[in-house]
A and B are shown apart, each in its own frame.
Chain A
Amino acid sequence: MAADGTVDLRGAPTPAPRASTLQRLARRRSSIAFLMTLPLIAVVAGLVVYPAGYAIYLSMLNRRMDAFAGFLNYEILIENDTFWMVVWQSCFFAVVAVLLKALIGFWLAHMLHHIPTKGQRKWRGMLLIPWVIPPALSTLGWWWMFDPTYSSINWVLAVFAVPAVPWLGEPWWARISVIMVNVWYGAPFFMIMYLAALKSVPEQLYEAAAIDGASSTQRLIHITLPMMRNIISITVLFSLIVTFANYDIVRVLTNGGPRDLTHVFATYAFQVGILSGNIPRGAAVSLFMLPALAVFAFFILRGVTQRNREMA
């Protein structure tokens, strides 16, 4: 190379012999990209695609798992009253719990956002505690509080002469208890996501709105919510999927009772599949909501992508 940066090609060696197909393939950017993503593809294939495929395969076997039964397990489930009760309860549980978590998380995020930065960290840490405790452990704590014989909540109620509540023994109280614990556990996740979203809303927008005389409700509706739409959509989608698949809270608190009236998909699948020795039908139960959730996820994510395009 010359001092001015130019290259003198006159003395350059003759061009190398033509590269082989393999060498050219290896030099292509797409090939390198593929090779670099290969570990991730292997992980996804091994931990997502294979188990999902195997679950679908299992759900199409007979109870002894020695013959292909097609969609028989799904047909049997569709004709079963208890299963439809489980479908209804799973939807009720997931929708009510996610709604409450979203509302409480939104409210908490607003409260936190308006606390001075110095004290905010302390409150943020405390409010996150329910979310960082392993749910099986915290649910056990709740179970002790609801316990039929030694309920501490009933003990407190008795101080105020309120009659004891059969928290886990009466169907509606049991449903409320299960949802309550799920909301207690999941609301901090919404709070932290919404807090992050709130902090990213430019302050100038609020200043401009204040100059225009917008009320706090108007600012919430016309600035805060539109700016948080994407994060709200993704958080709700994520939480809905996780709540639909919830197992430990129902299992520890009620085991699906009384009279199967608190079963959700995961606990019912475990009861049918593992406890009752009918693994194919258990697999069918657990896969039943997959198409509905996939369609829901498709529309939510499409909305997010569209909004991102509009903003760009």
Chain B
Amino acid sequence: MAEQNLSRRAALGAGAGVVAAGTLSAPAVFGQPTTTIRCGFWDHWVPAGNDVLRSLCTAWGGRNRANVNTDFITSVGNQNLLTIAAQAQSRSGHDILSFPAWEPAAHQRMLVPMDDVMGRLTAKYGPVTPAAEYLGKQDGKWVAIPAVSGTQMKPACTRFDLLQQHAGIDIRAMWPADNRRGPGADTWNWDTFATAAEACNKAGFPFGLPMGSFTDAVDWLGALFASYGANVMDERGNITVRGNAKLRAATDMAVRISRQLPNDVWAWDDASNNRSLISGRAALIFNPPSAWVSARRDQPAVGASCWTVPVPSGPEGRFVGYLPYFWGIWNFSRVQGPAKELLEFLSEREQAMAMTTTSSGYDIPPFLSMSDFPVWANEGPPTGTIYNYPIRPHHNARTSVAFAPAPPAMAVQAYNQALNTKLIARIVQGNETVDQAMGWLERELNTIKRGG
């Protein structure tokens, strides 16, 4: 090796240079985000719903030196389902993804357990609604967090003027914008409902209840069945159709109601019931506040006559259709820790309130303690119209998912094949006997069960 001579001056100069470069670059290094989290959230119906989620993520990222990339994936054309399936197959894509109701159970083995996050959140805010637990907690562990953004309930959105005029029901007095039941609330059951449906149909304002294969149809009928205790499959996957008196009673009631509906409800999708309300033709639909929001914008007179109330009760209680989204983290993500922190942040009360308020009350937090946000009391006209949208203690209601308590792997197939609406359609539209329709239902469930 050649001998190198380093003068004292040169050594000092080099040392000073190193110190200066290090000092000058230090703030830049500490200012740089060190983590990138890629999020694929559901593309909200309300455009501002995306903005609030994006700004919350940016704020969290700023505080935690993380880049949070937010993509919003639409559910139109089931684009979100296709994205989930593609990412699961390729084991690559986003770190955090919004999963519609049944997807956490379907992909539970590829999702990071969230028991730690849910443990902290429930310690802070109390229990979550039971239907969210049924869908999100698999084999005793949380596989995804029930999300705020996109989660909805489907209580009855009524035209209080039409119900008063044609059915003699003062629905606003029955369910006021207050934490109490009004006169007659105890009689708000399916029998009263069916009588009102007959009266309104006779007057030319039938209830707008879809009977097709989309979620609004499956959910309202699922709530009716749940309120009769009419399960078609138990939690162990045993089929409970044959000799099921509760199922028969629920079916009879559903048949009675569906005979009072417009003759094309068998083809209705999730927008058809909204349109029937907004157009002024329907006296009642089961829907989140989105239909009322559209009516307020497009048909102010109709919007001002809407009042959201709980679903009627049945012999086994009162159930409301629940369609949640979940936030999950893929197990191939390399930023699982920060992703969990972000989701915990988004689930906290302040952030949940921001999302719910921005969506005009549409988004429902999963925690029962968060049903007191002021947005539901303040929205109008008429003021308080969506006060009863979230489940409140005096409703004495529970959330329901159609085909629960069957194992989710089987229930999801029955749900997406809309077996409950088809059961009723076979009787009412196809003129089959109840026994024939039940036989068909049993065969379909056997097919589902056989494949596992």
A255 and B214 within 8 A (CB)? yes
Chain A hits for B281, CB < 8 A: 149
- Docked pose: A276 CA to B218 CA in angstroms: 14
On chain A, the residues within 8 Å of B78 by CB distance are 270, 274-275
Q: Which of A80, A171, A256 contacts B213 (CB 8 A)?
A: A256
Set A73, A81, A255: member contacting B212, Cβ < 8 A: A255
Whether A168 is near chain B, meaning CB under 8 Å from some CB there, is: yes
Closest A residue by C-beta to B424: A259
A-B contact pairs, 28 of them (CB 8 A): A73-B451, A80-B444, A80-B447, A148-B267, A149-B275, A149-B276, A150-B275, A150-B279, A166-B264, A167-B267, A168-B267, A169-B264, A169-B268, A170-B429, A254-B267, A257-B212, A258-B267, A258-B425, A271-B417, A274-B78, A276-B413, A276-B416, A276-B417, A277-B103, A277-B409, A278-B451, A279-B85, A281-B451
Give A258's nearest chain B residue, CB to CB. B266
The 4 closest A-B pairs by CB, nearest first: A169-B264, A168-B267, A258-B266, A148-B264
In the complex, residue of chain B having the shortest beta-carbon distance to the beta carbon of A277? B106
Query: Hey, which chain A residues are within 8 Å of B267, CB to CB?
Result: 148, 166-169, 174, 254, 257-258
A113 to chain B, nearest CB (A): 40
A63 located at the interface, meaning its Cβ lies under 8 Å from any Cβ of chain B in the complex: yes
Distance A214 CA – B71 CA, assembled complex (angstroms): 69
The answer for the CA separation of A73 and B106 in the assembled complex, in Å, is: 18
The A271-291 residues at the B interface (CB cut-off 8 A) are 271-272, 274-279, 281
A274–B85 CB distance below 8 A? yes
Contact A259 B416 (CB under 8 A): no
Q: Is B102 an interface residue (CB 8 A)?
A: yes
Bitwise interface map of A from 80 to 99 toward B, beta carbon under 8 Å scored 1, else 0: 11100000000000000000
Residues of A with C-beta under 8 A to B268:
148, 169
Q: How far is the CA of A64 from the CA of B105 in the complex (A)?
A: 11
- Decide: A169 and B263 in contact? CB cutoff 8 A: yes
Q: How many residues of A contact B (CB 8 A)?
A: 38
Q: Which residues of B contact A274 (CB under 8 A)?
A: 78, 81-82, 85
Q: Is A72 an interface residue (CB 8 A)?
A: yes
Q: Interface size (B, Cβ < 8 Å)?
A: 42
Interface secondary structure of A, over-half rule: loop
State the Cβ distance, A117 to closest chain B Cβ, in Å.
43
A149-B279, A166-B264, A271-B416 known; A258+B447 contact, CB < 8 A: no
Give residues in B with beta carbon < 8 Å to A: 78, 81-82, 85, 102-103, 106, 109, 212-214, 262-269, 272, 275-276, 279, 281, 409, 412-413, 415-417, 422, 425-426, 429-430, 440, 443-444, 447, 450-452
If A169-B265, A169-B267 touch, whether A76 touches B450 (CB-CB below 8 Å) is: yes
Q: Are A277 and B451 in contact (CB under 8 A)?
A: no
Bound-complex Cα distance A73 to B109 (A)? 22
Question: Which residues on the B side are within 8 Å of A203 (C-beta)?
Answer: none
In the complex, the chain B residue whose C-beta lies closest to that of A58 is B89
Pair A79/B447 contact, Cβ less than 8 Å: yes
> In the complex, what's the smallest C-beta–C-beta distance from A173 to chain B, in angstroms?
9
Set A64, A260, A278: member contacting B413, Cβ < 8 A: A278
Give the residue name and chain of the A residue nearest to B273 (CB): A149
List B contacts of A72 (CB < 8 A). Answer: 451
Whether a CB of chain B sits under 8 angstroms from the CB of A62 is yes
Q: Are A63 and B85 in contact (CB under 8 A)?
A: no
Q: Given A64-B452, A166-B264, A275-B78, 6 other A-B contacts at CB below 8 A?
A: A76-B451, A81-B440, A82-B444, A258-B266, A258-B429, A274-B78
The answer for the CA separation of A138 and B214 in the assembled complex, in Å, is: 22
CB of B212 within 8 A of CB of A277, answer no
Q: Is B416 a contact partner of A258 (Cβ separation < 8 A)? A: no
The answer to whether A275 touches B416 (Cβ under 8 A) is yes
Residues from chain B with a CB closer than 8 A to the CB of A76 are 447, 450-451
In the bound complex, CA of A87 to CA of B420 (Å): 23
Residue of chain A at shortest CB distance from B447: A80
Contact with B along A127-148 (1 / 0, CB 8 A): 0000000000000000000011
CB-CB under 8 A from A170, the residues of chain B are: 263-264, 266, 429
In the complex, chain B residues whose CB is within 8 Å of the CB of A150: 275, 279
Q: With CB as the reference atom, state the residue of chain A lying closest to B275.
A: A149
* Chain B residues whose C-beta falls within 8 Å of the C-beta of A275 in the assembled complex: 78, 81, 416
Q: Which residues of chain B have C-beta atoms less than 8 A from A277's C-beta?
A: 102-103, 106, 409, 412-413
Q: Could you say which residues of chain B place their CB within 8 Å of the CB of A257?
A: 212-213, 266-267
- In the complex, which residues of chain B have a beta carbon less than 8 angstroms from the beta carbon of A166? 263-264, 266-267
Kindly name the residue among B78, B267, B268, B444 whose own CB sees the greatest number of chain A CB atoms within 10 A: B267
Question: Are A259 and B417 in contact, with the CB atoms below 8 A?
Answer: no
Nearest CB of A to B423, in Å: 10
User: Which B residues are in CB contact (< 8 Å) with A256?
Assistant: 213
What is the CB-to-nearest-CB distance from B209 to chain A, in angstroms, rounded to a whole number? 13
A260 lies within 8 A of B272 (CB):
no
Give the shortest distance, in Å, between A65 (CB) and chain B (any CB). 9
* Least distance between A97 CB and chain B CB atoms (Å): 20
State the CA gap A43–B172 with chains docked (Å): 66
Tell me the bound Cα distance from A191 to B281 in angstroms.
Answer: 44
Contacts of B212 in A (CB 8 A): 255, 257-258
A-chain residues with CB within 8 Å of residue B415 when the two chains form the complex? 276
- Interface centre among A63, A167, A256, by most chain B C-beta atoms within 10 angstroms, is A63
